């Protein structure tokens, strides 16, 4: 009875081993099994196709024949490290892996390592996938993305140049006009154009053409406005408090124009008769995808008899229209300090 039982166990083990070999043989990936000494004990048909060796040429050989020559000197140490703590895992830990064919050519691979206990001792079964096609596709995608970035950068550069051309044309026009009111309107229009120029310049200089670093843009815009209106820094101070906020172009342009209008309005009206004071700009992240932008000043305030809702002032009309475009809201405090607060979503 004992002999029959032993025979049954042996037969079952043999059948199990046969099934295992059949599964390995039919696997779609190259399968290579090596013993603790690193000698190849078993390969499948796909391994023959992938590496270009016949089965007889691989069996009994060191597994290093499948490793590029430049990596062969470190491979035994890596095998020993795996054998000291064997577990199923991918090989390489994020590194790019390469294998070598019989003809000496190399190709990129992904390798899964699986420890197996056999009658002949512990073995390591490697599942090897040739990822040449995937790598080529990834390289083509990366090349396409680089071309797209170059194209987008060129577009922003050209838009900026075209806007600067319009700015220059307005300069030429202004040189032929003596009416201070008309000159003021031209200067306001130039500042609106320069605000858009700066947004495209900020994008052109950035690594992400989809989002504007709005804090960086504000620093450039405020310097431009101070120079444009000739405000003496010792008479009207300017404080800017910002956090890191990135806006898509669809939000950055109207928001930039709103800032332009509000600061221009403060420069022109808040400090008459050489009055001293300060303008403060606060850019905040309100959370939940909301941005807050506040422009305040300690100037004379908005007159009580001025109906802000019905005013014909182009600047305030633009603020209202641009706020609607942003899908935001604007609140106004007339004095002590005068304060405009714009809140809007970064994405719509």
Using CB atoms within 10 Å of the CB of residue 173, give its burial: 0 to 12 exposed, 13 to 18 middle, 19+ buried: middle
pLDDT at position 271 over 80: yes
Q: Name the pTM for this structure.
A: 0.59
Q: Which one is predicted more confidently, 90 or 226?
A: 90
Least confident of 27-41, 237-251, 275-289, 305-319: 305-319
Q: How confident is the model at residue 296 (pLDDT cuts 50, 70, 90)?
A: very high
Q: What is the pLDDT of residues 132-152, one digit of tens each?
A: 998 889 888 888 877 877 777
- What does the pLDDT read at residue 103? 94
Q: In this structure, is the dihedral angle defined by the CA atoms of residues 231, 234, 237 and 240, taken in order, positive or negative?
A: positive
Please say if the pLDDT value at position 10 is more than 70: no
Q: Which of 217, 218, 203, 72 is nearest to 149 (CA)?
A: 203
- Residue 118: beta bridge partners? 121
**What token pair was written down for 274?**
């050489």
pLDDT at 3 over 70: no
Report, in angstroms and rounded to the nearest whole number, the Rg of the chain calculated over CA atoms.
36
Residue 15 pLDDT grade (very low, low, confident, very high; cuts 50, 70, 90) = low
Tokens 């095998």, located at residue: 79
- Both structure tokens of 314: 């182009």
pLDDT at residue 8 in the model: 57
Is the pLDDT confidence value at 47 over 90? yes
pLDDT confidence band for 59 (50 / 70 / 90): very high
For the stretch 154-171, pLDDT in tens is 777 788 888 888 888 888
pLDDT band at 12 (very low <50, low <70, confident <90, very high): low
pLDDT category, 9, cuts 50, 70, 90?
A: low
CB atoms within 10 A of CB 71: 15
**For residue range 182-241, what is the model confidence (pLDDT) as tens digits?**
888 888 888 888 888 888 787 777 767 678 888 888 888 888 877 776 666 678 888 889
pLDDT at 38: 92
């Amino acid at each position: 009875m004992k002999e029959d039982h032993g025979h049954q166990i042996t037969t079952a083990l043999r059948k199990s081993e046969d099934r295992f070999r059949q599964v390995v043989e039919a696997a779609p990936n190259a399968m290579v099994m090596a013993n603790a000494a690193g000698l190849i004990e078993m390969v499948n048909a796909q391994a023959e196709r992938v590496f270009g060796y016949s089965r007889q040429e691989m069996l009994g050989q060191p597994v290093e024949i499948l490793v590029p020559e430049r990596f062969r000197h470190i491979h035994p140490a890596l095998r020993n490290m795996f054998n000291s703590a064997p577990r199923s895992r991918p090989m390489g830990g994020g590194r790019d892996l390469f294998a070598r064919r019989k003809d000496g050519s190399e190709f990129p691979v992904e390798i899964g390592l699986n420890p197996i206990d056999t009658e002949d001792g512990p073995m390591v079964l490697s599942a090897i996938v040739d990822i040449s096609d995937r790598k080529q596709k990834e390289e083509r995608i990366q090349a396409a993305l680089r071309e797209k970035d170059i194209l987008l950068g060129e577009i922003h550069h050209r838009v900026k140049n075209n806007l600067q051309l319009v700015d220059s044309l307005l300069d030429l026009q202004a040189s032929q006009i003596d009416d201070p009111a008309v000159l003021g309107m031209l200067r306001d229009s130039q500042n609106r154009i320069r605000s858009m120029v700066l947004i495209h310049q900020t994008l052109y200089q950035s690594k992400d053409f989809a989002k504007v670093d709005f804090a960086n843009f504000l620093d450039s815009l405020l310097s431009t406005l101070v120079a444009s209106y000739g405000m003496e820094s010792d008479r009207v101070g300017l404080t800017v408090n910002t956090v890191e906020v990135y806006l898509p172009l669809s939000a950055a342009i109207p928001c930039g124009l709103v800032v332009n209008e509000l600061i221009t309005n403060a420069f022109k009206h808040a400090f008459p008769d050489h009055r001293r004071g300060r303008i403060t700009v606060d850019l905040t992240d309100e959370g939940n995808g909301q941005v807050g932008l506040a422009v305040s000043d300690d100037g004379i305030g908005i007159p009580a008899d001025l109906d802000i809702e019905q005013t014909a002032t182009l600047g305030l009309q633009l603020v209202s229209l641009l706020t609607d475009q942003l899908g935001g809201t604007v609140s106004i405090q007339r004095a002590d300090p005068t304060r405009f607060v714009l809140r809007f979503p970064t994405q719509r």
